């Protein structure tokens, strides 16, 4: 009885595999390619985070960022990163964000599949680790993690992020 249950589970979900995706994410706060909108704006008396004058505790941004194969915007499109981030630290010295987004793949063997990503983004750290908490399509029942680095940063108007995604699904 127990064995039958195990076997049927294995058939339902198929064999798990490890996947590594390498993506560049383009986050534009301004300009012709703008891909974010600030929907929640904290009141003026909140602490400015990291001395940046850009973020206050409670600010919230919704994004629909392009994902490409290489670092240039003209590089092959691989998908979108759709979700939001929040200035989640109440300490003025700590510019930490909370991020929550779906990586939607629109090209290659994972076309149409998504990964659900969430976690803490301490923007000052050279590498941040986020959690892959699920997915759909080829990534149903996915688990894993994302290593994220800032490659380029333009006065709060543009951030180029490099994502290494390690997934078991």
Ligand X SMILES: *[C@@H]1O[C@H](CO)[C@@H](O)[C@H](O)[C@H]1NC(C)=O
Q: Where does this chain bind ligand X (CB under 6 A)?
A: 106-107, 111-112
Report the residue number, 107 or 122, with the smaller CB distance to ligand X.
Answer: 107
Rounded CA gap, 84 and 75, in Å? Answer: 24
| Residue 80 Cβ vs ligand X, minimum distance, rounded to whole Å | 13
* Distance (Å) of CA 76 to CA 69, 106, 138, 163, 164: 5, 11, 21, 15, 17
Residue 84 near residue 41, CB atoms below 8 Å: no
Give the end-to-end CA distance of the chain in Å, rounded to a whole number: 26
Which letter does DSSP use for residue 103 in this model? E
Report the residue number, 40 or 112, with the smaller CB distance to ligand X.
Answer: 112
| Residue 155 Cβ vs ligand X, minimum distance, rounded to whole Å | 34
Report the residue number, 107 or 118, with the smaller CB distance to ligand X.
Answer: 107
Chain residue at closest Cβ approach to ligand X: 111
Report the residue number, 23 or 61, with the smaller CB distance to ligand X.
Answer: 23
Report the residue number, 40 or 108, with the smaller CB distance to ligand X.
Answer: 108
DSSP 42-85: --TTSPBGGG-SS-BTT-EEEEEEEEESSSSTTSPEEEEEEEEE
| Residue 105 Cβ vs ligand X, minimum distance, rounded to whole Å | 9
| Residue 77 Cβ vs ligand X, minimum distance, rounded to whole Å | 9
**CA proximity to 86, closest of 45, 133, 38:** 38
| Residue 104 Cβ vs ligand X, minimum distance, rounded to whole Å | 11
């Amino acid at each position: 009885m127990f064995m039958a249950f195990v076997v049927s589970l294995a058939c339902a979900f198929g064999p798990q595999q490890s996947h590594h995706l390498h993506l560049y994410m383009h986050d534009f706060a301004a300009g012709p390619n703008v891909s974010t909108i600030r929907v929640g704006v904290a009141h003026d008396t909140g602490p400015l985070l990291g001395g940046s004058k850009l973020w206050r505790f409670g600010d919230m941004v919704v994004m629909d960022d392009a994902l490409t194969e290489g670092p240039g915007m003209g590089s092959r499109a691989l998908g979108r990163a759709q979700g939001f981030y929040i200035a989640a630290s109440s300490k003025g010295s700590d510019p930490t964000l909370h991020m929550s987004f779906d990586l939607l793949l629109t090209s290659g063997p994972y076309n149409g599949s998504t990964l659900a990503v969430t976690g803490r983004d301490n923007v000052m750290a050279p590498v941040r680790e986020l959690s892959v908490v699920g997915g759909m399509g080829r990534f149903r029942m996915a688990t894993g993690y994302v290593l994220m680095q800032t490659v380029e940063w333009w006065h709060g108007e543009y951030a180029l992020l490099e994502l290494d995604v390690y997934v078991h699904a």
